[in-house]
Structure formats: structure tokens, C-alpha cells
Amino acid sequence: MTLATAGAGAATARTERHPDPKPRIDPLSVKTPSELYDDLFVQVQMRDIFVDGKTFVDAVPKRPVADIMKDYQRQKPSTNAALKAFALKNFVVPGVNDGPPTTVPVTKGASLQQHIKELWPHLTRPAVKSVKGGSALSLPEPFVVPGGRFREMYYWDSYFTMLGLKEDGQNTVMESTINDFVSLVERYGHIPNGTRSYYLSRSQPPFLYLMVGLSETTNDRVKARRLAAVKAEYAYMTSKARTVSMPDGSKLQHYWDARATPRDESYLEDVETAHKSGRPKAQVYRDLRAGAESGWDYSSRWFADGRSITTIDTTNIVPVDLNSLLYGMERSIAQGCREAADRACAQSFTKKADRRAKAINTYLWSSSQKRYGDWDVKKSAIRPGVTAATAFPLFVGLAPKSRVNDLAATIKAQLLAPGGLRTTTVKTGQQWDEPNGWAPLQWVAVEGLEKNGQHALAKTISDRFLTTVLAEYKRSGKLVEKYNIESQAGGGGGEYELQDGFGWSNGVTRALIEKYGMPTT
């Protein structure tokens, strides 16, 4: 399915009268926990009252915010024990005082494929209505969460989760999840990183157009609404604050966040990073937030010295994955407009895509290293080091045929590991660096290579990654967020413990099994 309203009903859908949409909500007008709870929030986060910085920001107040803050100002709990007791008295804190932990039943001896199918109901959540003082955003329809500490809907995760939902016939929740994303664009002008107030100032890699492409709906009004949402998202992702002029004047985009403060969900970590950096704190916070928007939080990709997070400079970088996805979005919008008989729109977005492809192939390709990479704006050069992002031009179909063999050879020589595709070739302790491999990057590489005739390498990556997933499943009975593809076990590093569940690992694993079957060796 494309973004368009298809067939003979197209003209009708274009002229059909719709109710006037509600005015968009300014994302920065929605209060986050740090703004609502002020010093209480700062003390809970900076004194590390809960093990995970995300715990308190997901808490739900038991009574009005003003009453809680009045009591806090009066009591000013001085010890950590007193502060924790105050928090637990006044909030329902996930994983602490919100009831006994839920367990996911595991069918003994279930195959990996069967286990994934059994997980979908446990990762599906009903519609959400926001609670005053809480951080959860309202969602009109059921959706699927990643699992573990990630109790809300996440943007780019959901596309890869949907790959498995589709294969397992979970079309109803797949469609309702897409509808939830469309509703977010209609309310806020973009899809936030996740469905929490503290994520509203940024997005994530733009996969909505690809989600829509998985749908099999024949409803013209639904298609028209989705096309409008993708066009609105495109406007957000190509706004002035996100745009860079390349040396020849062409325009490409970078990751961004509208705030320049510590992330609510990683407040302590961000304050410490900014302090150690010795750099202007607002810039460090902005770059940390932009790194979170990239989905690669965090990676040597975003570090000026290629090693330390204190040198993070994400907003100085023109990323190959983001711009490849924007190319794919432009092509998809053009096709949608074409099918909707909107010739001017189709021509406009086709030209945008052509210009972007030319710029990517001019500035983000290293002829000496036979790879795509990220552009350093200050140095006016490609950043050193091959990463899995190099496969995105293959994935969206913008890499010239003359480069495919060389690029595939680079991927094979530098990124192919015993257990799948490496994220980078640098060990920093960050979770988006070696030795971790991630399900979404396996899929992008496999699909990109397959589309460009590199069938053997695509299958090799799939076989090796599935072998890793199966090995960990046999060990722990779980699918996890990330994998160590050198030792073929669960991954590590980053700001939090390894999470299980896990939405995108389930989806990609299920889709790879469908594509190639389980490896025979």
C-alpha cells in the first residue's frame, strides 16, 4: 500500500469535506515532570533515589500537583530515605509501588517463532488517557510497547515491531498503532520520541511513511489522513532549525531537539556529562537530546573525538541515515500525491528527492573508503569510521548501482561479525557501539542488500543474527533489546540495564524467519 488515496475513489477523497481539525498543541507548552515538580524532581534525580532515572518521570501523582508541592516545601525531606518515602507516599511509581510485577508465561519448549507470537498480547496496551500531573500522553487506540522499562509507545521501534505483527496476522493492532502515530502528528505537528511529555521536544528517525506502507487498508479517508500526516511530519523534519547548507548550497538535515536542558529521564547523567565536558552546558544538553532523537543513544558517531560522550556534537553532523529516510519519505509522498491526482505535489516532491539523492551521493559518500558516512559541518568532511548507517542508502534505493559492490564489500569486511552486523567498529562502552548489534540495523542492512542484488551477504547477516537471538533465547528464555554479536549473547553498555520483551527484536526476528527461515547450521 502507498500513502495515497488509490483508484477511482481518489478524487472523491480529495474533495470530501472533513471537520476542521483542532488547533495543534505547542509541544513546549506541555509541562514535563521537571517543570511540574521543580526542586522535588531535581532532588529525586540528582540524589539517585531510584536506580533508573526513567522511574520517577513515569510516576503518576496520587493527588493534585499543587498539594504535593505545598507539602514538599513544608517538609523538605533531607535524607534520601525520607525523600523516597515522600515520593512513594505521593506517587504511583512504576516497578516500585504499582503492584506486583507482571510475569510473561513461557510455554516450555516453545519454538522461537511460537514464543514471539505468544508475546504480542503481553506487549499490547489499551488506549491511554493522560492524567493531570503524569507524563503519559493520550492515545486513542491500542498499541504495542517495546517492553521492560519502556512502558509507552516509541516511534522508530514501532516500525520494526510491526514487521513481526504483520507476519503473525496482528493487523488490527498494527493499524491502530499507525492511527495513534497519525493522531500525534495531528495534535503536535510531529511524532515524539515516545509518548511521554518529556519526549515532545524531539522526534526519532522518520519511519511513519514505511509503517503506512505495511498497511493493507483500502479506506480512502484513512489513506488521505495518513498522507496528510506524513506531509506534516516532513515539514517538521525539514524545518529551518534542522537544516544545513552543504558547500554547493544544497540542503540536508540533522537531528535536533527544541530544548537545551538535561533530559528529564536521564537528568543526573546529563548534568554529569555537561560538567565533565567543560563546554557550554546548553550546547551539551542540546547535543545529548539530538543524539537521543537519532535513536543511537549513544554512539561514537556523535562524538567529536570518536571516543567520549563529553565531546558529543550531534547537531554538527549531517547523518546519512536521517537523510536517506527523508529521501524515502519524499519519494513516498510524491507517489501518494501522484495517485491522488495532485500533479504539482508529485512533481515537487520528486524534485526534492532527486536533489537530496544528489547531495547524499556527493557529500556523504567516501570514494576512498567505499562507504557512506556522516558529514562533519565544521570540518566540511565525512566523519571517520564505518558504521551500520552506511546501509541506509541501499535500504531506500538511492545508492547508484556502480557503488553497490564496493559498499557490500565494505560491509562484509568491516561490519560482519560472528553474530550479525556490527553497529560500529569502536568500543566505547556506549550501547550503540561495538560489540552490540541491534535488530533494526540488521533489517535495514538485510533489506538494503537484498534489494540491490547482494543476496548471499543479506542471508549471511540474517543467519548470523538469528543464531545469536536463538542462542540467547535458549539461555534465558527471552528476546532482548540488543545483542553482543561478538560473543552471541545479550548486549550491554549504555545508561540502563539490558531490557527484555522486546518489541523490535521480536519483529525483526519474526520477519527474518519468514524471509529466510532459521539457519540450518
pLDDT band at residue 518, thresholds of 50, 70 and 90?
Answer: very high
397 inside domain: yes
- Listed residues 218, 237, 256: the one ending a domain: 237
Interval 395-450: pLDDT, tens: 999 999 999 999 999 999 999 999 999 999 999 999 999 999 999 999 999 999 99
Residue 19 pLDDT: 41
Instruction: pLDDT band for 515, please (50, 70, 90 cuts).
Output: very high
Answer whether residue 15 shows pLDDT above 60.
Answer: no
Is residue 358 situated within a structural domain?
no
- Looking at the structure, do residues 439 and 509 belong to the same domain, yes or no? yes
CA separation (Å) from 412 to 213, 388, 417, 435?
29, 11, 9, 16
For 101, 298, 348, 390, 453, the CA distances from 331, given in Å and listed in that order, are 45, 30, 10, 20, 21
339, 481, 486, 500: the active-site residue? 481
In angstroms, the CA 176 to CA 190 distance is 17
Q: What is the pLDDT of residue 108?
A: 81
pLDDT tens string 442-498? 999 999 999 999 999 999 999 999 999 999 999 999 999 999 999 999 998 877 777
C-alpha distances (whole Å) from 313 to each of 14, 81, 232, 255, 300 are 43, 38, 27, 11, 10
71 is a catalytic site residue: no
> Are residues 406 and 470 located together in one domain of the fold?
yes
Exactly one of 157, 297, 313, 500 is catalytic; which is it?
Answer: 297
71 plus 151 within the same structural domain: no
Angle (deg, nearest 10), helices 320-339 and 220-237: 140
Average pLDDT over residues 255-267: 98
Residues β-bridged to residue 132: none
Cβ neighbourhood burial of 487 (10 Å; 0-12, 13-18, 19+): middle
Could you report the per-residue pLDDT of 313-335, keeping only the tens digit for each? 999 999 999 999 999 999 999 99
pLDDT over 70 for what percent of the chain?
A: 94
pLDDT, residue 8, reads: 30
- Please write the tens of the pLDDT for every residue from 64-102: 999 999 999 999 999 999 999 999 999 999 999 988 766
Q: What is the mean pLDDT of residues 197-211?
A: 98
Same domain, 397 and 520: yes
Mean pLDDT computed over every residue of the chain:
94
Residues β-bridged to residue 375: 318, 382
- Same domain, residue pair 44 and 176: no
Domain final residue pick, 204, 237, 270: 237
Q: Is 56 inside a domain boundary? A: yes
What is the structure's pLDDT at 16?
31
> Contact at 8 Å (CB) between 289 and 263?
yes
Residue 147 within a domain: yes
**Statement to judge: residues 197 and 53 lie in one domain:** no
pLDDT of residue 3: 59
Cα separations (Å) of 312 from 40, 189, 255? Answer: 29, 28, 13
| 41 and 5 in a common domain | no
Backbone angles phi and psi of 495, in degrees to 5: -95, -5
Burial of 313 (0-12, 13-18, 19+ CB in 10 A): buried
Q: Are 262 and 495 in contact (CB under 8 A)?
A: no
The answer, yes or no, to whether residue 7 has pLDDT greater than 70, is no
Residue 9, pLDDT above cutoff 80: no
Higher pLDDT pick, 3 / 89: 89
Residue 98 lies in a domain: no
| pLDDT of res. 20 | 43
What pLDDT, on the 0 to 100 scale, is given for residue 494?
Answer: 77
Residue 509 makes CB contacts below 8 A (sequence gap 6+) with 112, 116, 164, 439, 466, 469, 479
Q: Each residue of 178-196: pLDDT tens digit?
A: 999 999 999 999 999 999 9
Helices (H) and strands (E) in the chain, counts: 19, 16
Q: Verify cis geometry, omega within 30 degrees of 0, for the bond prior to 298.
A: yes
Q: Both 60 and 142 in a single domain? A: no
**Would 375 be classed as within a structural domain?**
no
Do residue 5 and residue 146 come from a single domain?
yes
Instruction: For residues 391 and 509, state if they share a domain.
Output: yes
DSSP H helical segments within 340-399, as ranges? 343-363, 392-396
Tell me the residue length of the chain: 521
The residues, any chain, with a CB within 8 Å of residue 92's CB and separated by 6 or more, are: 59, 60, 62, 98
Task: Kindly report, residue by residue over 212-247, the tens digit of the pLDDT.
Answer: 999 999 999 999 999 999 999 999 999 999 999 999
Q: At how many degrees (to 10) do helices 503-516 and 455-476 cross?
A: 130
On whether the CB atoms of residues 512 and 166 are closer than 8 A, the answer is no
Give the tens place of pLDDT for each residue, 108-143: 889 999 999 999 999 999 999 999 999 999 999 999
Question: Given this model, what pLDDT does residue 521 score?
Answer: 63
Q: How many domains does the chain have?
A: 3
pLDDT at 497: 74
Instruction: Determine contact, residues 347/230, Cβ cutoff 8 Å.
Output: no
pTM metric for this prediction:
0.94
Q: Which residue has the cell 565525512?
A: 382
Domain ends where: 212, 237, 262?
Answer: 237
- Separation between Cα atoms, residue 139 and residue 27, nearest integer Å: 15
Task: Find the domain containing 222 and state its range.
Answer: 1-18+110-133+136-237
Catalytic annotation present for 38: no
Q: Which residue has the cell 477523497?
A: 13
Cα(286)–Cα(352) distance, integer angstroms? 28
**155-167 and 171-188 helices, crossing angle to 10°:** 160
Residue 4 in this model has a pLDDT that exceeds 60? no
One domain, residues 185 and 67: no
Q: Please return the burial class of 21, using the count of CB atoms within 10 Å of its CB with bins 0-12, 13-18 and 19+.
A: exposed
Q: By 3-state DSSP, what share of the chain in percent is helix, strand and coil, each rounded to 5?
A: 55, 10, 40
Q: Tell me the three state secondary structure of residue 197.
A: helix
Residue 148 sits in the same domain as residue 14: yes
Among the listed ranges 19-23, 251-255, 370-374, which one has the minimum average pLDDT value? Answer: 19-23
Average pLDDT of the segment spanning 280-301 = 98
